[in-house]
Amino acid sequence: MANTLAPLRFSPAEEGAFHRALHREAYGYLRRRGDHRFADRRARVKAALILLASVACYIQALAASQPVVFMAGYAAFAMLMMWLNIDVNHDASHQTFTRSRFWNAFISRAVTISTGIEPVYWRARHVSFHHRYANIEHYDLDTEENGILRQTPFQRWRGWMRFQHLYWPLVAALSLSWIGIVFDWADRLGRTPLQAERLLPGVRGWGAFIFSKIAHLTLMLGVPIMAGHNLWMVAGIYLLIQMCASLLVVFLLLGTHWAGTTFYQAPEGESQQMTHGWYHHNFTTACDWLTPRRWQEAFTGGLNYHLTHHLFPGWHHRHYPALARIVARLAQEHNLPYRCISYRELRAAQRAFLTQMGHPHEA
């Protein structure tokens, strides 16, 4: 992984008319409702209820005298906290849960303790690299070459990758721990492009970083063991739940950038300008997808409207269904390839992509 990356620009393509129409209609939608871009009271109440339920499950797990009751309470706590990460932390990382940057940062740090991930580094990877350079080789750190899973046609092919469409759920299950252990420490030690961001500098930065790691281990392992629960049982359920939580997030996210999308390489030479515009890039590197049942959108944190999220990262996810309808209509008028597919189609396209990337002739 390169330690420095020259910033890329997108071509000033003829996208001005679409941009103006999109923002005119989006802000018109807000004015008609007398609304704002951030979380509303309903979203905050929902977050509070999830948090209270997770705390109740944690307390029940600590007080349990039967192993099965402990494991049920512990699992419920961890999965509810992951739901809180999906529903709240993602918006807070984009500064859309509250208007205050301080409270968004505070919420992110508090909510991510259960995951073991450093929120400042995750936010930089997500906002500064993935959102800015989705599906661009070396620039989108979510698809960085890892030697295990081939995620782009520009990466080296290895023999075991012919089976990656079969073993990828295991990779997905380990992704959360990999981010917390490998990515976070690589970022901390300046071995990734994040070093240019100058995040968490000095002693205070080290303090915040170490705090997040110690707090995670204390919450997820230390306190249950001190409460009298068996060390091996706690460690076992911890590893299992970390894998389940990781699977949950990956199943919501990755397919949206694999399903019938395009992958790009950065321009060579001195020019750091892509040959296409920013809107065209987003339409060709992501899609929206629909949950099998409308009520299930309450659990996705808006991630199923993934293309819409990339076009409106500064809007809370409660607006995405309405914004997606605006995007779909205007994209048709301006000949942009908007796609909204079913979850079944998403899974099928994801499997087809992994199978294709596993073929040696695609290398």
Q: Are 174 and 297 in contact (CB under 8 A)?
A: no
Express each pLDDT in 157-187 by its tens digit. Answer: 999 999 999 999 999 999 999 999 999 999 9
* 328 located within any domain: yes
* 254 located within any domain: yes
* 179 located within any domain: yes
- In this model, does residue 218 exceed pLDDT 70? yes
- In this model, does residue 306 exceed pLDDT 90? yes
Residue 58 phi, psi (nearest 5): -65, -45
* 4 located within any domain: no
- Residue 360, pLDDT score: 86
Rounded-to-integer distance, Cα 163 and Cα 265, Å: 25
Q: Are 35 and 44 in contact (CB under 8 A)?
A: no
Express each pLDDT in 41-98 by its tens digit. Answer: 999 999 999 999 999 999 999 999 999 999 999 999 999 999 999 999 999 999 999 9
- Residue 95, pLDDT score: 97
Q: Are 247 and 172 in contact (CB under 8 A)?
A: yes
- In this model, does residue 269 exceed pLDDT 80? no
Over residues 221-234, the mean pLDDT reads 97
**Average predicted confidence (pLDDT) for the chain:** 94
Rounded-to-integer distance, Cα 267 and Cα 208, Å: 37
Residue span of the structural domain in which 256 resides: 9-358
* 344 located within any domain: yes
49-50-53-58 Cα dihedral, nearest 10 degrees: -140
pLDDT-derived band of residue 272, with 50, 70 and 90 as boundaries?
confident
Widest pairwise Cα distance in the chain = 66
**Domains: count for the chain:** 1
Express each pLDDT in 112-121 by its tens digit. Answer: 999 999 999 9
Q: What's the whole-model pTM score? A: 0.94
* 1 located within any domain: no
Rounded-to-integer distance, Cα 144 and Cα 127, Å: 16
Q: With CA atoms as reference, report the closest residue to 356 among 141, 173, 155, 174.
A: 155
- In this model, does residue 244 exceed pLDDT 90? yes
Express each pLDDT in 280-297 by its tens digit. Answer: 999 999 999 999 888 889
* 2 located within any domain: no
* 3 located within any domain: no
